Amino acid sequence: MKLLRIILLLSVYLPTAAWSVQHYTVRVTDQKPQSRENFVQGIEILDGYIYVSTGTYGKSHLLRYRFADGTLDTRRKLNAKIFAEGLTIFGDNVYQLSWRNKVMLVYRKSDLTFLYALPIKGEGWGLTHNRTELIYSDGSNNLYFMSPETADITRTIAVKEQGRPVERLNELEWIDGSIWANVWQSNRIVIINPANGEVTATIDLQGLLPLKEYRRGTGVLNGIARDPADASIWVTGKRWPWQYQIELVPTVNGQEKQEHTIDSR
C-alpha cells in the first residue's frame, strides 16, 4: 500500500511521466514530385490543391498547384524585402507569415489576390489554425493563438517534452485536435497537446529523403499537411524533390527504423 501511495503521488505531482510520450517512425505510402526550386516554409492541402509558401529574400512566393498532377495553378511573388514563412487557409483567406518583417500577409483564397497585411509580434515561423484561432510559432518553445481578423494574441502555450522546453518549433499543422510541429534543424516532428503544450508523441523521420537525393542547397525537413479528402498526411522539406505521404509506425523506445515501401525514382 505504501508503494501504491508513492506511485499515485508521483502521477499527481510529476507533470509529464517518461512513459507518456509515444514514439513513432514512418512508413512511406506514396510520393509526388516537387520542384527543387521551392525552399519550402509551409504547405497546405485543400480542395484538390496544394498551397506552398517558399522563402529566402527575393525568391519568396505563394504557390498553388493541382495536387493530383503537380501542375502550377497560381503564383504570387512577394516583395524582395520579405522572407516568407509558414501558411494556412482559414475561411476564404490564405494567411502567410513573414520571418522578420513582423507582418502576416492575407490573400483571397479564390485567386490568391493580396488583400492586406496584419502586424505580428516578433518573428514568424510556422502557422496553422484550430478552426477558430490562428496558431503560429516564432522559433522559441512558445505557440501563440491569435485572432484571424486582427492578429491579436489571445493566449500562449509553452511547449515542453517531459518537462523540458522544445525550441525551434517551425512548420505547424492541426491534425485530429493536436498540433504537429517540425523541429527546425532536425528530422523530428512533435505532436503537441494544445491545451497545455505537452508533447504527447514524437515522430522520427531520419533518412526519409535518401542520401542519393541530396544536392547542393537541399535543406531540412519542413512541411506538414493533411489532405481533408482522405485524411492522408504529407511531409516534405526545403528544396526536396519529393512530397511524401506517410503513415505512423509505433516504436518501442524509438528503436525501430523507418519502413520505406516506395523508393525515390
Q: Residue 256's pLDDT is what?
A: 52
C-alpha cell at 140: 522559441
Q: Among the listed ranges 39-53, 158-172, 247-261, which one has the minimum average pLDDT value?
A: 247-261
Task: Give the total residue count for the chain.
Answer: 265
Stretch 11-19: mean pLDDT? 43
Pairing status of strand 221-227 against strand 199-204: unpaired
193-216: pLDDT as tens digits: 999 999 999 999 999 999 999 999
Question: CA angle 126-130-133, nearest 5°?
Answer: 80
Q: Note the pLDDT of residue 11.
A: 37
For the chain, domains (ranges, CATH) are 22-260 (2.130.10.10)
- Residue 20's pLDDT band (boundaries 50, 70, 90)? confident
- Give exposure, 20-59, as e/b (b: 16+ Cβ within 10 Å): ebebbbbebeebbebeeebbbbbbbbbeebbbbbbbeeee
pLDDT, position 255: 55
Distance CA 168, CA 186 (A): 9
- How would residue 258 be classed by pLDDT, with cut points 50, 70 and 90? very low
Contact call for residues 85 and 137 (beta carbons, < 8 A)? no
SS3 assignment, position 89: strand
Distance CA 118, CA 100 (A): 13
Say yes or no to pLDDT of 149 above 80. Answer: yes
Q: Is the pLDDT of residue 5 over 60?
A: no
Q: Which of 234, 182, 237 is nearest to 215 (CA)?
A: 237
Cell of 247: 503513415
pLDDT at 17 over 70: no
By three-state DSSP, how is residue 2 classified? Answer: helix
pLDDT band of residue 252 (cuts 50, 70, 90) is confident
Report the mean per-residue pLDDT for the chain: 90
Distance of CA 107 to the CA centre of its chain: 20
CA dist 237 and 39 (Å) reads 8
Q: What does the longest C-alpha to C-alpha distance in the chain come to?
A: 68
Per-residue pLDDT tens digits for 124-144: 999 999 999 999 999 999 999
| 1 has pLDDT over 70 | no
| Mean pLDDT, residues 170-185 taken together | 97
Share of the chain above pLDDT 90, in %: 86
Residue 2 is predicted with a pLDDT of 44
pTM: 0.88
The string of pLDDT tens digits covering residues 57-110 is: 999 999 999 999 999 999 999 999 999 999 999 999 999 999 999 999 999 999
Per-residue pLDDT band at 15 (split at 50, 70, 90): very low
